[in-house]
Amino acid sequence: MTVQKLVATAVAVALLSLILNNAAAFTPNWVYQALEDGRKRSVGLWKMCYGIDKGKGPTRLEQTLERDCENLNWGSEHAGFQESRNTVKLQFDMMRACNLIATVALTVGQLIFLLGLMELPLISQDSQWWEEAIAALFQLSSFVLVIGLVTFYRIGPYTHLSWSCYLDIGACLFSTLAAAMLIWNILHRREDCMTPRVIVIRHSRPRFENDYVESPC
């Protein structure tokens, strides 16, 4: 696999991470909570929706609550039953910040890749920093997503992680994979360049002319 194909594959993996990260952010299914009055609700990073108890027949009021959703902002502290409001506030604010930073890092990495394909004077595939900058941004997104997800290691006894959280875990894994592919390629290329230069003499026309070909490094 050539360098360009490897970089393009890593960028495609990072694009999948970006899609999963945004899907996790804008769906109200990060955690499921049980409330003191027996109601259930799903809480996301930016949206919260109430549900109904599946063990009971839905009344008209509960049918209304099932569609009752509201937007959340920074500092929201909607805790479940026997759950600390301060802990919930810290968890979701931290995850919102990490989600936004990861989104920006992944997006900028995609833009740098596209600008490199355009062969601009300052941003080119032959630039030494082009691939390194993309790898650094993908690694940054992976790092901040890990920090945000770690804050949810402790949740209330009546709170359960939902599929939006697992989407972000997948986004973190794909971002890590994309960064690892680029870092491996950069280190592998540097190791090749540390070896002494080799000059190969190829006799194209005997007794008349020699072609001198240096190694890529």
For the segment 30-54, what is each residue's pLDDT rounded down to a tens digit?
888 888 877 888 888 888 888 755 4
Name the residue among 50, 101, 51, 43 with its Cα closest to residue 73. Answer: 43
Q: Which of 42-56, 127-141, 146-160 has the lowest mean pLDDT?
A: 42-56
Of residues 202 and 148, more confidently modeled: 148
Q: Which of 73-87, 147-161, 171-185 has the lowest mean pLDDT?
A: 73-87
Is residue 104 pLDDT above 90, yes or no? yes
Name the residue among 14, 8, 5, 4 with its Cα closest to residue 177. Answer: 14
Nearest-angstrom CA–CA distance, 87 and 11: 35
The pTM (predicted TM-score) of the whole model is 0.75
- Cβ contact 123:115 at 8 Å: yes
For the segment 161-179, what is each residue's pLDDT rounded down to a tens digit?
888 889 999 999 999 999 9
Q: Does the domain at residues 3-214 carry the CATH identifier 1.20.140.150?
A: yes
Averaged pLDDT for residues 74-93: 78
| pLDDT score for 1 | 46
Domain-wise residue ranges, the chain: 3-214
Of residues 67 and 123, more confidently modeled: 123
Name the residue among 178, 79, 165 with its Cα closest to residue 138. Answer: 178
